[in-house]
Structure 1
Amino acid sequence: MELKEYKLGDLIEVTRGMSLPGEFYSTEGEYIRLTCGNFDYVNNSFKENKSKDDLYYVGKIKPEFIMEKGDIITPLTEQAIGLLGSTAIIPESGKYIQSQDVAKVTCKKGMIDHDFAYYLIPSKCVKEQLSAAAQQTKIRHTSPDAIKACKVFVPPLSEQKKIAAVLSALDDKIALNKKMNQKLEAMAKRLYDYWFVQYDFPDKNGLPYKTTGGPMTYNPTLKREIPVGWEVVRLGDLFKTNRGVSYSTPTLGAEGDGVPMINLASFSPNESYNEKGIKYYKGEYTDEKVLKPFDFVMCNTQQTAIDPQKDIIGRSMLVPDIFDGDIVSSHHVNTIKLEKENLKFYLNRLFNTKFYHAYISKFANGTNILGLIFSGVEDYMCEIPSDDLLEKFAKISLDIEKKKSKIIKENQKLTALRDKLLPLLMNGQVVVE
């Protein structure tokens, strides 16, 4: 396959967005301003920015800065290492405004395929050139001219389309799998709410308990009614807990150098496991620190101020079944061992409710780094459903967790394949027939 040398400026136009004065930032409105937080630079894709509340812009907007579905964008500031050269595709027309920290990429007709450009810009060749030319300040910057000055080698347009089709097919499957996991998670949340918040779990006849007149009793501790036969207990009487391993920089390794270590970056505000947060630990550890699939863990540390939209302190999760060999957790994580194994599925949902999180956040202590006073978890008075109901919920929940883990593992393989193919396809070592 013949490759021809170009400057990116021969193939694309790159335009900076408009300046958006902060006085017009708002928590609601019609248009959302794009920021560097919209780039998932690890997966090279678009993501909704949930790190800020005032993402809407209510000032005057020039029409050319209102984005259309399918537009390619790339960041002009590097607020995280590796961000420069990332690309994302706008998912919806008439919703997002291009800010001055974001560049729009327009392909020159007949020169470069739209989807090929999306993969070319974040290629190793371009990223290395952008990194070398970036302005060296606390936050590194690039510019439209710097992007256009990058040298690239590209195949004919017909080959570009073939290459882009292969990579797009992999990305489409990865995206579909993520949506499947989101649906599974939503299903588990709905079931918890229906059974344990609304109390409409199936009665002995398979009918919704409370709706069909199932008996309730007033509990003076909780100061509300709960189903007859349920207990109210102090949670600390039901479990034992221990922290993970203490680590320092010398005991951390690169991927594959050490055992996977669940840490505070493994938790996310949306209750799901954050794959990108995993660390690798190459220090010593004892058997009691080893985690098993679906062990119950809680984050006990947070490096930001309390914010219900971003908090991870007090969040819990079940360790996904995606690792080979030993797994450990850091000292920022508590492992919770329950006398009744089925109870962890119920408590995991409870610990991630808004109600519980509003309660437990009061036990976050510290200034720059917050630590969880664990007595807040232990002293929580909680209603406990009947054993048979817990067993039913645990069976359904475990099945969901297994499906989620299987999908995560499949996506890891697909991502590795895509990342391996990308440079080989771009430099002509692998040819698409």
Structure 2
Amino acid sequence: MSRWPVTSLHGKLHVKHGYPFKSEYFTGAGKYIVLTPGNFYEEGGFKRQVGKEKFYSGIVPKEYLHSQGDLVVAMTEQSAGLLGSCAFVPDNDTYLHNQRLGLITVDPEQLDIAFVYYLFQTKSVREQIRLTSTGSKVKHTSPERIYSVNAALPKVEEQKKIAGILAALDAKIGCNKRINAELEAMAKLLYDYWFVQFDFPDADGKPYKSSGGSMVYNATLKRQIPEGWKDGTLDDLGRIVGGSTPSKENPDYFTANGTPWITPYDLSGNQGTKFITRGAQDVSDEGIRDASLKKVPAGTVLLSSRAPIGYMAIARAELTTNQGFKSFIPTNEYSTAFIYYTVKGSLKTITRYASGSTFKEVSAAVLKTVKIALPDSNIVDQFSVSIASMFNRQDLLELENQHLTQLRNWLLPMLMNGQVTVV
């Protein structure tokens, strides 16, 4: 039971639907970016959808332009668990929101806007929004239904303290993500510099191609590659293995504490990270035998091969996958890091070769036909050593974010109902 008084949100906040956009003003490069529920993470937060954003070039009333720090809420459940999720707008005068979102404003004497953001992440509020929503296929809510939500509300000063604690954890999580993004950009740049532009260090430590290193034409690849390199396919990088699914009819095949079992859905929530330890479910030894599952070792590069194609991660420990993966187990002279970026750089070709009537899928046979240039193993070793510290740092920061997220999620309900107080 909460130590705070429970009351409705009516009269304490206001929800404003988005602007009624005209379709003829949606262009490839308009002045404004239109926010949709697709810009939301399920756990709360905001993401850019580079390449998929809707731009609007029409005239928009000033009151519909967002300022940095505006709070928007998902009024439509575009994906499971999204309804009622909130996010802060990151920039001024750049974003608009469509009618699937609502702009939240508050009476500052009764509510703190940051507190509202976290309030809408609580199970109680989200359940109330969902239970009062309408729609048989896609759930919708309305401002009036949000106003009817009941919540435990301390005084505004206490709200600010609570939000401050949770925001500090989120700020650290965000900082770690930005550091990892910079490290990823550096590692990818180094890979491209060495293996795409062929400016790896020569015997004198100079950039190979730029310093006049010998290049030879490869008839298979139909391009020049450094002398001593050879042509090959993705199959040369390591052993490609698939996965499978134990029978769902036997609950004993799945367990909360067995061997991690990864699905493409697990990677959909893992975007922005590089490593993965486990997914939503583990499988038991009986389940592994039933489905003839293969355990892959730490360092294996996972590639989702259907529904959708192209999600990638590196196994942090031994695990298994369902049939939606083709995984690369490093077995030759090529390291996990080299395999990861080489496969990532081949995704456009991999996707082009996909086939299937119901949904596109990439087979192991197809992967074995994707041609690549194979460098000397010594160069790969140098590359792997050069970025090892970056990979280790990324791994540590991802693990730290997992712990911080667990701490925040543990504190959230207790702070919100007064079980834990801020002094």
The number of residue pairs the alignment matches comes to: 416
Name whichever of 265-274 and 237-246 sits farther off: 265-274
In the TM superposition, residue 54 of structure 1 has moved relative to its aligned partner by 5.6
SS in 2 for 1:302: coil
Per-residue Cα deviation, 1:93-127 (whole angstroms, up to 9, x for no partner): 11111211111111212211221121112222211
Aligned to 1:351: 343
Residue in structure 1 matched with residue 328 of structure 2 by the alignment: 336
The residue aligned with 2:353 is 363
SS of the residue corresponding to residue 99 of structure 2 reads coil
Residue 300 (structure 1) aligns with: 305
Cα distance in 2 for residues equivalent to 1:237 and 1:153:
60
Q: 1:235 to 1:130 in 2, by over 3 A?
A: closer
Q: Show the counterpart of 2:56.
A: 57
Q: Per the alignment, do residues 54 and 26 of structure 1 end up closer, same or farther by CA in structure 2, a change over 3 Å counting?
A: farther
Residues 37 and 48, structure 1, Cα contact 8 Å, conserved in 2: no
> Using the alignment, how far apart are the partners of 1:406 and 1:89 within structure 2?
27
Residue number in structure 2 paired with 1:127: 126
Aligned counterpart for 1:423 among listed residues 407, 410, 413? 413
CA distance, structure 2, for counterparts of residue 83 and residue 203 of structure 1: 52
Residues 245, 285 of structure 1: 8 Å contact kept = no
Which of the numbers 377, 381, 384 marks the counterpart of 1:391?
A: 381
**Most deviating of 247-256 and 189-198:** 247-256
Residue 75 and residue 339 in structure 1: after superposition, are their counterparts in 2 closer, same or farther (change >3 A)? Answer: closer
Q: Spell out, residue by residue over 1:174-195, the C-alpha distance to the aligned partner (whole angstroms, 9 max, x if none).
A: 1111111111211111001101
**One-letter code of the match for 1:295?**
T
Preserved CA contact (<8 Å) 1:342 1:394: no
Q: Distance in 2 between matches of 1:245 and 1:329?
A: 7
Asked whether the equivalents of residues 240 and 364 of structure 2 are also in contact (C-alpha less than 8 Å), the reply is no
Q: Deviations over 1:34-93 (max 9, x none)?
A: 111111122x1111235x736111223111111110001101111122212211000001
1:165 maps onto 2:155 in alignment: no
Match of 2:296 in 1: 291
Q: Contact conserved, 1:69 with 1:89, CA < 8 A, in 2?
A: yes
Match of 1:318 among 314, 320, 333: 314
CA distance in 2: counterparts of 1:91 and 1:289, whole angstroms? 44
Which structure 2 residues correspond to residues 12-51 of structure 1 after superposition, within 5 A? 12-42=13-43, 44-50=44-50
Alignment correspondent of 1:308: none
Report the residue type matching 1:296 in the other structure. Answer: V
| 2:10 is the alignment partner of 1:9 | yes
SS in 2 for 1:389: helix
How much has 1:13 moved relative to structure 2?
1.5
- Residue 421 of structure 1 deviates from its aligned partner by 0.6
2:98 is aligned to 99
Q: What's the secondary structure of 1:404's corresponding residue?
A: helix
The answer to whether the 8 A contact 2:66-2:95 is kept is: yes
Helix, strand or coil at the partner of 2:92: coil
Task: State the one-letter code of the partner of 2:372.
Answer: C
- Give 1:256's aligned amino acid: A
Aligned 8 A contact 1:251 1:282 in 2: no
SS at match of 1:45: coil
Question: 2:147 matched to which residue of 1?
Answer: 148
Deviates more, 1:150-159 or 1:19-28: 19-28
Shift in alpha-carbon separation, 1:399–1:293, aligned structure 2, 3 A: farther
Cα drift, residue 345 of structure 1: 2.6
Q: Is the 8 A contact 2:237 2:328 kept in 1?
A: no
Q: In the alignment, does 2:191 pair up with 1:208?
A: no
Query: Helix, strand or coil for the counterpart of 2:239?
Result: strand
Deviation at 1:423, TM superposition (A): 0.8
Report what 2:75 is aligned to: 76
Shift of 1:238: 5.6
Please say if residues 260 and 283 of structure 2, whose CA atoms lie closer than 8 Å, have aligned partners that are also in contact: no
Are 1:119 and 1:164, in contact at CA under 8 Å, matched by a contact in 2? yes
Secondary structure at the aligned position of 1:364 is classed as coil
Aligned-partner Cα distance in 1 for 2:272–2:204: 33
Alignment-derived partner of residue 184 in structure 2: 185
CA distance in 2, matches of 1:165, 1:120: 13
How many angstroms does 1:316 deviate by? Answer: 4.5
**Given residue 226 of structure 1, which amino acid in structure 2 is its aligned partner?**
I
Give 3-state SS (helix, strand or coil) of 1:289's partner: coil
Q: Find the residue that maps to 2:361 and give its secondary structure.
A: strand
State yes or no: 1:327 paired with 2:339: no
Indicate yes or no: 2:370 matched with 1:380: yes
How big is the alpha-carbon RMSD for the aligned residues of Structure 1 and Structure 2? 2.6
Does residue 407 of structure 2 align to residue 408 of structure 1? no
Query: Structure 1 residues 431 and 235 mapped into 2: Cα distance closer, same or farther (>3 Å)?
Result: closer
TM-score normalized by the length of structure 1: 0.88
| Long gaps (5+) in structure 1 | 304-311
Query: Per the alignment, in what secondary structure is the counterpart of residue 226 of structure 1?
Result: strand
Alpha-carbon distance in structure 2 between the residues aligned to 1:263 and 1:87? 27
Structure 1 equivalent of residue 260 of structure 2: 260
**Cα–Cα, structure 1 residues 343 and 416, in superposed 2: closer, same or farther, change >3 Å?**
closer
1:262-281 C-alpha deviation (Å, 9 max, x unpaired): 22234469785487993313
In structure 2, the CA distance between the partners of 1:54 and 1:409, relative to structure 1 (3 Å rule), is: closer
CA distance in 2, matches of 1:74, 1:276: 31
- Return 14-23 or 199-208, whichever deviates more: 14-23
Cα distance in 2, alignment partners of residues 316 and 12 from structure 1: 41
Alignment gaps of 5+ in structure 2: none
Summarize the Cα distance change of 1:411–1:296 in structure 2 as closer, same or farther, 3 Å threshold: same
Q: How much does 1:233 deviate?
A: 2.9
Structure 2 residue identity aligned to 1:47: K
The residue type paired with residue 399 of structure 2 is K
